[in-house]
Structure 1
Amino acid sequence: MQQLTEKYNIELSEKTIVEKLQFIAEQHPGKVVFTSSFGYEDQVITDYIFKNDLDIKVVTLDTGRLFPETYKVYLSTLERYKKNIKAYFPPTKEMEELLDKKGPFSFYESLENRKECCFIRKVIPLKRALEGNEIWVTGLRASQSNNRSEMQEFEFDGGNAIIKYNPLKDWSLEETIEYVKANNVPYNILHDKGFVSIGCQPCTRAIQPGEDFRAGRWWWEQGSGKECGLHEVK
């Protein structure tokens, strides 16, 4: 698969995003999945997929702690495109054990606890969503954080044994917003209130002018890399 990522990076470099999405859907029929959290970036990709009726599954990870506004854009997206978005949830047993042992806000107490919560609520459902697929489409942009600055458009995710395609890798936040507005794509209204990266409600806040893009995620942590484990840091 590593060789295939290198091949795709070279051979598809001149194609448009829609052409690349169409290509991977044709080359990997029924085995391409896109994970959406309904942020600006994900809504752009959802629009590309649904508007062009591409054979790419769109799924979301419902952690059980999402903002009401996130559910609203989820519903707006279903109503707009009349397409299915499959939800994956945390495993009941592990979730119950975590709450029984550590309570509902253990993630504030230590980095270890926070990563444990993220693992149960996000990583385990992600593994289920990716199972049986060959290409994972994401909404990652290189400028979102230092951890993502060196990523490739196509890259091999060894942890999940899957090829990851990052179509918006070189897009700026401004370009992303411009696409959403120009195409009247449903978006999370929290973006209008300073939330640039939106995750679970207890773990996300708006950022202030001049703050880093990821400053609003796990805002009480310092030097943690501000990642939840969904995307392997190289």
Structure 2
Amino acid sequence: MPVINENRRTQHKKREMKRILWILPILILLSCNETKKNKTESKTELKLETSNSEPEFKIEFDSTKISSFTIEESEFSSAKALTRKLSDYSTQELKDLPNFIRLTMSIVIPFDISKENLENTLKSIVYEQTEKNKDIDEIVIFAYDDKNDIGNGYTFGKLLWSPNAKTGNVTPEIAKSNIRTNYNFEIIIKDKVGKITKSDLPTKRELEIYNEIMSEKYWDMQEEQSEPIIMKKFNISRKELKEIWLKVAAHKL
């Protein structure tokens, strides 16, 4: 009997070993799959964390070089944040697209402002406006030394603040989430800025005569018709009229 029992034990152990050897590969496979899954989840989490950690756009300027200025016009407008031609969108797609916000401003600055001060002044305005309203997606500023020139192109400088410093680059994602990482400035300052002396400036009377010449009421008239009226009004000769127009027009270029 002891021999029989011993044989049974031996056979039982062999069967147990076979079971273990059979199930071991399955356990190893399951373990590998779980490890791979954990690694994938970790990578996904890391990727999400990385995408959310992009640096914010910073508006840098020298606060000691900001000039005085007056805001003469300030207008908000909005439009759909398109990324392709309007005709490529369905009615529902257009309806679902967010609007982006543009701020257009016209400012008047001193005639003797330097280029450096004008640039810093323009940047400081963008900083101030975007601090007050985080939803502004695009800013355009026109700079003049005479408010009467507003609406006829800029006379001193222009700033554009937008994605990659280009108009029409606001995407739906930018409009929705106020992403500013790819924002930049395009600043145009005329060559005359910083070189103008007081003697170069048109007088108040010369500006008045020039504005009269350019007045809308004379648009449908020939020079032969309008000039005598203006000459009589200001008691000047035709030669004086031409010289004044030329001086002021050159200043406004």
Please state which band the TM-score falls in when normalised by the shorter chain. Answer: under 0.3
Q: Could you state the TM-score of these two structures normalised by the residue count of structure 2?
A: 0.20
The structure with the largest helix share of the pair is: 2
Q: Could you state the TM-score of these two structures normalised by the residue count of structure 1?
A: 0.21
